[in-house]
Chains A and B, each alone.
Chain A
Amino acid sequence: MARAYIFKRFERFWHWAQAALIIAMLLTGFEVHGSYRLFGWGRAAGLHTSVAWALIGLWLFAIFWHFTTGEWRQYLPTTDKLGAVLRYYLTGIFSDEPHPFRVTRLSKHNPAQRLAYLLVKVIINPLIWVSGLLYLYYNELGATGTVIASGLGLGAIALVHTAAAFLMLAFLIGHVYLATTGHTPLARVRAMITGWEQLADEPEPETRKIPAQGVST
C-alpha cells in the first residue's frame, strides 16, 4: 500500500492545537452561557477569554501559513465528484465500495470536506470571532455610544455568538465521527498525527505527479 506525506508539521500542530482550543472554548463557552456548571462561572469566563486569545494567535499564524504556502487553495469549492462522494457516504460506504476520491498532496480534501471546511472558515469562524470580540469589548463599545446608536445590545451579540457556537458544536460532532470513516477507523486520525496518509492500491493518475521524495512504498 502506498503512503503519501499529506499533512505537514505546522498543519498538524495547527489542527490539533485548534481542536484542543475549540473544545475548550465549547466547554467554557456553554458554561458561560449557563448550560451547565463545570469550572465555576468566573473561571469559565476567564478561561474562555484566555483560550480565545490563544486561538486568535494560532489563527493568525495559520492564515499566514495558508497564504504563504498556497494551501488556502485546498478549500476552493468544487462540484467535481461531489455527488459521488456524498453518494459514497450515504450508501457506498456500507457495501465496502471504494472511496470515489483519491487524496493527493495537491488535493487533500474530498469535495464534501472542502465545502464543509470552507463553510467553517467563511461562515462559522467569522461569526464567532466578530460576535466574540464584540462580546468581549462590549463595555468599550457601550462607552463610545455605538452600541446604543446601532441598537446592538449584548443580547443580540450573545445570540449570534451562541448560534455560531451551536454550529461549531454540530461541526465538531460530525467532524469527529467522519474521522473514523477511513479505510480503518483510526487511519485518518493516524494520518493527522503522523502526516502520512495510506493511499489505496490503485492510485489515481494525479498521485503519480507527486514528487518522489513525498511518496514511499
Chain B
Amino acid sequence: MTAALSPDDPAITARQRRLAILARTDATALQQAWDGLAEKPRYRHLKVPETGLVMVRARAGGVGQRFNLGEMTVTRCVVAVEAAGRELMGVGYVQGRDARKAELVALFDALALDPAHAPKIEADLIVPAQKLLAEKRQKRAEKVAATKVDFFTLVRGEG
C-alpha cells in the first residue's frame, strides 16, 4: 500500500479540482472531447456505472451542527485505462443518472494522470469548462442580485 495520503498533497487537490469541474460539465461536451481524441485508449471497467443515493450533509453557514440536507442521486463509475504500458485508475461521480457521463468523467480522470494526455485535457477540456462554469455562476449571481430586496423601516415623526 502507499503511504498515508495527505489531503493537502498538491496532486490530490489538483485531481479534486479536475473532478469537480468534470462532474459539472455538460455530458455532450465530454462526449465531444472523447470523440476528439486522436487515439482512444483501451480501458476496462472496475466498477460498471451504477446509480445510488448519497446523503448530503451540511452545516448552516458552514458552522454549527451538522444536519442531513437530503438525499441526492449519484452515478459512479471506476475504470482502469491503459496508458504507456500501465493501468491508471480513474473515478467518476456525477449528479443524476447519466451512466455514460460518469464513465466519461472516470476516463478523463484517468487520462489526466498520464503525462502524455494531461496538458491537452487541461487545455481543451478543463479550462474551457471551468470558464463556462464561472460564467454560469456569474450570470446566476447577477440574476439573483437583481431581485434583492432591502428591508428597512421608515421612522416616523423625526425632526
The yes or no verdict on A and B being binding partners is no
Binding site for B on A (CB under 8 A): none
